[in-house]
């Protein structure tokens, strides 16, 4: 078991709750980041998504700058930038600029998926599929632009050269595990929704890991859904907003985050649906004592160096309280 020094962080999508404006949503981003800093979190990441009215993190790098400006010590980053959507040069320039503004605090997580539907991916970049197939080479381009050795090249991201921006490989399958291991980069697995290949991917990554200049040993981050309240019953009630979100994903009827309701038999049946049950396998919902036992078991199983928590709740105050209790759990498990 390796729980003594396990770090804990937050992954946010800047979810838009029913009845809330984008301005309120972005204010919640800053408030959550500030509270995360107070609670002792290592990092606060924002995920890139597009064409989803209930997700506000489409202009990811801009929101990262907004959160970084309102905090002092917390690492802020992308979990992640969906690289096939972008020119590696532009991403290097954006994150090099962020690193100059907020030194030693900016992370760059890179993913291969589009973060949207096929039609929108094509609208973002007509050669998306080709770029996705060349993801390893695109990552290499990013690394080149950040290298001081690129100073004599014809094409440069001058603001990025020599900048301290750690790169993380994000993944939900075994392909990303091979890549992260080969490049000697930290590996963040999206087990908060893609649960099937978690243990296989971690095994591949650790067995194949090749030390790099910056990363000497394997470093695994694992995503988990966390909903903690004062009682199990209250946490279950709050989780009804998450259940309705999942239903929206499966039915293609996405809506803004709905207020919680009492847990009904119909909602319990949805949770028992094989697809939903598999997707939410690593969702820890309950009181502090309940979730602490679940988190400890998960850490025993994965030996992850860091957990990155996702908390999809309607009310920002409930989210903050859940994250506060999760921080207490992680400190107690040290």
For the domain that residue 289 is a member of, what is the CATH number? 3.20.20.30
For residue 181, being part of any structural domain is answered with yes
Q: Tokens 């506000």 belong to which residue?
A: 56
Query: What percent of the chain stands above pLDDT 90?
Result: 87
8-20 average pLDDT score? 97
Q: What is the pLDDT of residues 138-152, one digit of tens each?
A: 999 999 999 999 999
Residue 178 counted as domain residue: yes
2 domain residue, yes or no: no
What is the DSSP pairing of strand 43-46 with strand 7-12?
Answer: parallel
Which candidate, 54, 50, 18, 137, places its Cα nearest to that of 88? 137
Question: Contact, 48 vs 60, CB < 8 A?
Answer: yes
> Rounded to whole angstroms, how far apart are CA atoms 5 and 20?
38
- Domain extent, residue 257, equals 7-332
User: pLDDT for 246-262, tens place per residue?
Assistant: 888 888 788 899 999 99
Is the residue at 306 inside a domain? Answer: yes
Backbone dihedral region of 51: left (phi > 0), alpha (psi from -120 to 50 degrees) or beta?
left
Interatomic CA distance for residues 30 and 10, integer angstroms: 13
Q: How far apart are CA 295 and CA 132, in angstroms?
A: 34
Give the pair of three-digit tokens for residue 300.
Answer: 């025993």
Q: Taking residues 166-195, report their average pLDDT.
A: 96
Tokens of 263: 């847990």
Residue 1 pLDDT greater than 50, yes or no? no
Q: Is 1 within the bounds of a domain?
A: no
pTM for this predicted structure: 0.95
- CB under 8 Å to 272, separation ≥6 — which residues? none
Domain count, the chain: 1
DSSP alpha helix (H) spans, 102-197: 118-124, 128-133, 135-146, 174-183
Interatomic CA distance for residues 331 and 334, integer angstroms: 5
Residues above pLDDT 70, as percent of the chain: 99
């Amino acid at each position: 078991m390796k729980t003594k020094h396990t770090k804990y962080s937050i992954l946010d999508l800047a979810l838009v709750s029913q009845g809330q404006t984008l301005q309120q949503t972005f204010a919640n981003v800053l408030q959550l980041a500030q509270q995360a800093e107070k609670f002792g979190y290592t990092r606060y990441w924002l995920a890139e998504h597009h064409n989803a009215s209930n997700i506000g993190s489409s202009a990811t790098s801009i929101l990262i700058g907004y959160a970084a400006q309102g905090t002092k010590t917390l690492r802020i980053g992308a979990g992640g930038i969906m690289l096939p959507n972008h020119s590696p040069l532009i991403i290097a320039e954006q994150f090099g600029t962020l690193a100059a503004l907020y030194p030693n605090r900016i992370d760059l997580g890179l993913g291969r998926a589009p973060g949207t539907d096929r039609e929108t991916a094509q609208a973002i970049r007509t050669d998306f599929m080709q770029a996705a197939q060349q993801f390893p080479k695109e990552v290499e381009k990013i690394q080149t632009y950040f290298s001081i050795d690129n100073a004599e090249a014809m094409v440069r991201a001058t603001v990025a050269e020599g900048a301290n921006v750690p790169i993380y490989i994000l993944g939900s399958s075994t392909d990303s595990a091979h890549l992260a291991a080969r490049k000697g980069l930290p590996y963040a697995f999206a087990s908060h929704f893609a649960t099937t290949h978690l243990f296989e991917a971690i095994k591949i990554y650790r067995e194949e890991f090749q030390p790099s200049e910056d990363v000497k040993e394997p470093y695994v981050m694992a995503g988990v859904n966390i909903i903690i309240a004062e009682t199990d019953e209250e946490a279950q009630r709050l989780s009804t907003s998450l259940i309705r979100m999942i239903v929206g994903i499966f039915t293609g009827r996405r809506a803004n985050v709905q207020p919680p309701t009492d847990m009904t038999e119909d909602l319990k049946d949805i949770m028992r649906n094989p697809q939903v049950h598999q997707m939410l396998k690593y969702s820890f919902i309950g009181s502090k004592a309940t979730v602490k036992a679940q988190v400890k078991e998960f850490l025993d199983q994965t030996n992850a160096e860091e957990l990155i928590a996702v908390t999809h709740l309607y009310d920002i105050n409930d989210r903050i309280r859940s994250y506060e209790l999760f921080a207490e759990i992680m400190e107690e498990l040290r």
